[in-house]
Amino acid sequence: MISQKLQDAFNEQINKEFYSEYLYLSMATWFDAENLPGFANFFKIQTQEEHFHAMKMYDFINERGGRILLKEISKPKVDFESALEIFELAYIHEQYVTKLINELMDLAIDEKDHATKSFLNWFIDEQVEEEASMDTILGKLKMLGGNGHGMLMIDNELSSRVFNPPVK
Protein backbone atom coordinates (compact mmCIF):
# COMPACT_ATOMS: atom_id res chain seq x y z
CA MET A 1 0.00 0.00 0.00
CA ILE A 2 1.29 3.44 -0.89
CA SER A 3 1.14 6.25 1.64
CA GLN A 4 -1.33 9.11 1.19
CA LYS A 5 1.59 11.57 0.86
CA LEU A 6 3.13 9.58 -1.98
CA GLN A 7 -0.23 9.01 -3.64
CA ASP A 8 -0.92 12.76 -3.59
CA ALA A 9 2.56 13.53 -4.93
CA PHE A 10 2.17 10.99 -7.74
CA ASN A 11 -1.22 12.43 -8.67
CA GLU A 12 0.47 15.83 -9.02
CA GLN A 13 3.28 14.31 -11.08
CA ILE A 14 0.86 12.49 -13.36
CA ASN A 15 -0.77 15.87 -14.05
CA LYS A 16 2.66 17.35 -14.83
CA GLU A 17 3.44 14.48 -17.20
CA PHE A 18 0.16 15.05 -19.05
CA TYR A 19 0.96 18.77 -19.16
CA SER A 20 4.36 17.91 -20.66
CA GLU A 21 2.59 15.84 -23.30
CA TYR A 22 0.32 18.79 -24.08
CA LEU A 23 3.22 21.27 -24.12
CA TYR A 24 5.23 19.16 -26.55
CA LEU A 25 2.20 18.70 -28.77
CA SER A 26 1.88 22.49 -28.87
CA MET A 27 5.52 22.72 -29.93
CA ALA A 28 4.93 20.08 -32.62
CA THR A 29 2.03 22.10 -34.03
CA TRP A 30 4.28 25.17 -34.33
CA PHE A 31 6.85 23.17 -36.30
CA ASP A 32 4.12 21.69 -38.51
CA ALA A 33 2.92 25.21 -39.29
CA GLU A 34 6.50 26.22 -40.13
CA ASN A 35 6.85 23.30 -42.58
CA LEU A 36 9.54 21.60 -40.49
CA PRO A 37 8.14 18.05 -40.31
CA GLY A 38 11.25 16.53 -38.75
CA PHE A 39 11.14 18.92 -35.80
CA ALA A 40 7.37 18.30 -35.55
CA ASN A 41 8.05 14.56 -35.53
CA PHE A 42 10.58 14.97 -32.73
CA PHE A 43 7.96 16.62 -30.52
CA LYS A 44 5.18 14.24 -31.53
CA ILE A 45 7.41 11.39 -30.37
CA GLN A 46 8.11 13.39 -27.22
CA THR A 47 4.35 13.57 -26.57
CA GLN A 48 4.16 9.80 -26.78
CA GLU A 49 7.00 9.47 -24.29
CA GLU A 50 5.33 11.84 -21.84
CA HIS A 51 2.05 9.96 -22.14
CA PHE A 52 3.92 6.72 -21.49
CA HIS A 53 5.50 8.27 -18.37
CA ALA A 54 2.11 9.38 -17.03
CA MET A 55 0.57 5.97 -17.64
CA LYS A 56 3.54 4.16 -16.10
CA MET A 57 2.92 6.17 -12.92
CA TYR A 58 -0.83 5.61 -13.21
CA ASP A 59 -0.33 1.84 -13.37
CA PHE A 60 2.13 1.91 -10.47
CA ILE A 61 -0.30 3.74 -8.20
CA ASN A 62 -3.05 1.27 -9.07
CA GLU A 63 -0.72 -1.68 -8.42
CA ARG A 64 0.09 -0.23 -4.98
CA GLY A 65 -3.58 0.12 -4.03
CA GLY A 66 -3.70 3.88 -4.51
CA ARG A 67 -6.26 6.04 -6.24
CA ILE A 68 -5.69 8.19 -9.31
CA LEU A 69 -7.25 11.64 -9.14
CA LEU A 70 -7.01 13.38 -12.49
CA LYS A 71 -6.76 17.14 -12.44
CA GLU A 72 -7.23 19.91 -14.95
CA ILE A 73 -4.35 20.27 -17.40
CA SER A 74 -3.10 23.83 -17.83
CA LYS A 75 -3.02 25.37 -21.28
CA PRO A 76 0.51 25.32 -22.71
CA LYS A 77 2.22 28.13 -24.53
CA VAL A 78 1.17 28.09 -28.19
CA ASP A 79 3.05 31.00 -29.81
CA PHE A 80 6.78 30.74 -30.32
CA GLU A 81 9.33 32.92 -32.07
CA SER A 82 11.73 30.25 -33.28
CA ALA A 83 13.01 26.70 -33.07
CA LEU A 84 15.75 28.00 -30.79
CA GLU A 85 13.18 29.39 -28.35
CA ILE A 86 11.26 26.11 -28.37
CA PHE A 87 14.31 24.03 -27.53
CA GLU A 88 15.41 26.49 -24.86
CA LEU A 89 11.96 26.15 -23.28
CA ALA A 90 11.95 22.36 -23.69
CA TYR A 91 15.36 22.07 -22.03
CA ILE A 92 14.24 24.26 -19.12
CA HIS A 93 11.06 22.20 -18.86
CA GLU A 94 13.02 18.93 -18.69
CA GLN A 95 15.21 20.38 -15.94
CA TYR A 96 12.00 21.24 -14.06
CA VAL A 97 10.66 17.71 -14.50
CA THR A 98 13.97 16.33 -13.22
CA LYS A 99 13.55 18.46 -10.10
CA LEU A 100 10.02 17.09 -9.62
CA ILE A 101 11.16 13.48 -10.02
CA ASN A 102 13.99 14.07 -7.56
CA GLU A 103 11.47 15.49 -5.07
CA LEU A 104 9.34 12.37 -5.49
CA MET A 105 12.40 10.25 -4.78
CA ASP A 106 13.19 12.35 -1.68
CA LEU A 107 9.64 11.73 -0.45
CA ALA A 108 9.91 7.98 -1.12
CA ILE A 109 13.15 7.95 0.91
CA ASP A 110 11.50 9.90 3.74
CA GLU A 111 8.56 7.50 3.69
CA LYS A 112 10.95 4.50 3.63
CA ASP A 113 9.03 3.15 0.62
CA HIS A 114 11.55 0.90 -1.11
CA ALA A 115 9.18 -0.19 -3.89
CA THR A 116 8.60 3.43 -4.88
CA LYS A 117 12.33 4.18 -4.72
CA SER A 118 12.99 1.24 -7.03
CA PHE A 119 10.24 2.38 -9.40
CA LEU A 120 11.53 5.97 -9.49
CA ASN A 121 15.07 4.92 -10.39
CA TRP A 122 13.86 4.36 -13.97
CA PHE A 123 12.52 7.94 -14.12
CA ILE A 124 15.72 9.39 -12.72
CA ASP A 125 17.71 7.63 -15.44
CA GLU A 126 15.15 8.69 -18.04
CA GLN A 127 15.49 12.34 -17.07
CA VAL A 128 19.24 12.24 -17.68
CA GLU A 129 18.45 11.10 -21.22
CA GLU A 130 15.64 13.66 -21.67
CA GLU A 131 17.82 16.59 -20.62
CA ALA A 132 20.74 15.41 -22.76
CA SER A 133 18.53 15.05 -25.82
CA MET A 134 17.13 18.57 -25.53
CA ASP A 135 20.55 20.02 -24.74
CA THR A 136 22.18 18.35 -27.77
CA ILE A 137 19.65 19.76 -30.21
CA LEU A 138 19.70 23.13 -28.47
CA GLY A 139 23.49 23.22 -28.89
CA LYS A 140 23.19 22.52 -32.61
CA LEU A 141 20.59 25.26 -33.02
CA LYS A 142 22.78 27.74 -31.17
CA MET A 143 25.68 26.95 -33.52
CA LEU A 144 23.40 27.71 -36.46
CA GLY A 145 21.90 30.78 -34.89
CA GLY A 146 18.55 29.02 -35.25
CA ASN A 147 18.39 29.42 -39.02
CA GLY A 148 20.02 28.59 -42.33
CA HIS A 149 20.55 25.42 -44.30
CA GLY A 150 21.66 23.59 -41.19
CA MET A 151 18.07 23.80 -39.96
CA LEU A 152 17.04 21.57 -42.87
CA MET A 153 19.77 19.09 -41.99
CA ILE A 154 18.58 18.91 -38.39
CA ASP A 155 14.98 18.69 -39.58
CA ASN A 156 15.93 15.73 -41.75
CA GLU A 157 17.80 14.09 -38.86
CA LEU A 158 14.82 14.47 -36.50
CA SER A 159 12.39 12.99 -39.02
CA SER A 160 13.79 9.52 -38.36
CA ARG A 161 12.98 9.51 -34.64
CA VAL A 162 10.49 6.82 -33.59
CA PHE A 163 8.83 5.94 -30.31
CA ASN A 164 9.98 2.66 -28.84
CA PRO A 165 8.17 2.14 -25.56
CA PRO A 166 10.50 0.59 -23.00
CA VAL A 167 9.61 -2.77 -21.55
CA LYS A 168 7.78 -2.19 -18.28
Res 19: pLDDT:
98
pLDDT digits (tens, 9 = 90+) for 4-34: 999 999 999 999 999 999 999 999 999 999 9
Per cent of the chain over pLDDT 90 is 89
Q: Is 44 part of a structural domain of the chain?
A: yes
- Structural domain harbouring 75: 4-158
Give the span between the Cα atoms of 159 and 156, in whole angstroms: 5
Q: Is 152 part of a structural domain of the chain?
A: yes
Overall domain count for the chain: 1
Give the CATH number, domain containing residue 99: 1.20.1260.10
Res 165: pLDDT:
83
Give the span between the Cα atoms of 17 and 13, in whole angstroms: 6
Q: Is 150 part of a structural domain of the chain?
A: yes
Give the span between the Cα atoms of 135 and 90, in whole angstroms: 9
- Of 149 and 76, the structure prediction assigns the larger pLDDT to 76
pLDDT digits (tens, 9 = 90+) for 88-115: 999 999 999 999 999 999 999 999 999 9
Indicate the pLDDT class of residue 168, thresholds 50, 70 and 90. low
CA atoms within 13 A on the CB side of 77: 9
Contact in structure between 7 and 111 (CB atoms under 8 Å): no
**Exposure string over 136-165, b if 16+ CB within 10 A, otherwise e:** ebbebbeebebeeeebeebbeebeeeeeee
Mean pLDDT of 119-140: 96
Q: Is 9 part of a structural domain of the chain?
A: yes
Burial of 74 (0-12, 13-18, 19+ CB in 10 A): exposed
pTM attached to this predicted model: 0.93
Q: Is 167 part of a structural domain of the chain?
A: no
Res 147: pLDDT:
72
